[in-house]
Amino acid sequence: MTVLHVYDGVLHGGATAAAQSVAMATGAQQLLLPAVRPAISTIGGYCDQLSVRWLRRWIRRANCDVVHLHNFKHVGTAAIKAAKLEGKRVVWSCYDYWCLCPRDTGYSCCSLRPDSSCWRTWQPVNRKSVPPLVKLPLIGRRRRIMRWLNQLDAVICLSRYSEKLLREHGMTAPIHVVPLPVTVAPLRDSGERDPNLVLYLGGQAAHKGWHIWQQIVERLQAERPEVVCKAMHGATRTQALREIARAACLVVPEQWPNPGPMVIAEAQLLGTPVVASGIGGIPAMKPTAMCPANSPELFGQLIWMLLQRRVAGLPAADVDEHRARYDPDRIGAQLWEVYRLVSIRTPHAL
């Protein structure tokens, strides 16, 4: 059995790193997708026939049995149709909720509520409002997308929360909950751990909690001037891992129900404590400490407590436990079992 992994050709970010980790764990082929008319496919949720024809050629060349989709929103449901027309079984790994919201996250939009309408709530980024007439193509978006997603042979979720949310929005395809296979290679020149370094890697996006991070920094620097707060964005994965290894604490103030941030797993494997929002699939990852997503005060208190623990020499995390949880060999075997199951099921007809 051969597998083709398909994902957007964005060479940074947690979703890309997650897709690459799965491809490495299964030792399969990879296909990077260009941004083909994303307004039609990503925002409107329409099946673009030009993308279907282009993808069919590539899938045919790959000569695979299973197409594993990761982040594929740039071509949208055309990826599913192309694979089905070529007679392939199709699996999708859910890393965000593009299928439910044009912004992927529901933040300041539909909040991913099953009864909410994207047509009523969505606004383009950096635009206060657009006329309702411009948003009319969004009507029926979720129904259009879910019609194709329910023809998938399997869906892989990172957490039970993610599975529950998809079911609430009408997902009927078989769902398997499988964590990410995460490895952290031995790092060179990472230096000694800085007992006062607090690290944030989410960039300036609001749904990543940039505004919460800024408030945390203000409070820590006012009350604990010895604490060094550092934000990184756009760095390579190796650079980010080095800083995580050096930090006394990683802050993950997510403001949307993230299915399972890969950066938390990386920090756990490096023995770095994590303070995170107790939202989405994060509680299942068992970070060192959690608090409400919109509470910079509690974030600051928990961070300071963790810094004191490190100074006292207390262990931050059981690295061996996390290695077992994210073990690529074990998870790779789970993924191949999913491929085997979809290969023996009766395929969905178009």
**34 & 164 share domain:** yes
Question: Both 112 and 38 in a single domain?
Answer: yes
CATH assignment of the domain containing 237: 3.40.50.2000
* More confident site: 346 or 290: 290
pLDDT in tens, 201-241: 999 999 999 999 999 999 999 988 999 999 998 888 889 99
Distances from the Cα of 183 to the Cα of 38, 71, 265, 285, angstroms? 32, 20, 9, 16
User: Mind listing the pLDDT tens digit for each residue in 259-284?
Assistant: 999 999 999 999 999 999 999 999 99
Total number of domains in the chain: 2
- Indicate if 146 and 15 belong to the same structural domain: yes
Length of the chain: 350
Identify whether residues 299 and 335 lie together within a single domain.
no
* One domain for residues 15 and 98: yes
Q: Are 123 and 210 in a shared domain?
A: no
Please report, for residues 13, 250, 326, the alpha-carbon distance to residue 92 in angstroms, rounded to integers and kept in the order given.
18, 30, 19
Do 203 and 138 have their domain in common?
no
The boundaries of the domain holding residue 275 are 197-325
For residues 320 and 219, membership in a common domain is answered with yes
Helix (H, G, I), strand (E, B) or coil at 147: helix
Residues 29 and 142 occupy one common structural domain? yes
Residue 235 placed within a domain:
yes
Provide the pLDDT confidence category of residue 14 given band limits of 50, 70 and 90. confident
Answer whether residue 76 is part of any domain: yes
Same-domain check for residues 20 and 157 = yes
- Residue 191 lies inside a defined structural domain of this protein: no
Pairing of the two strands 29-33 and 66-69: unpaired
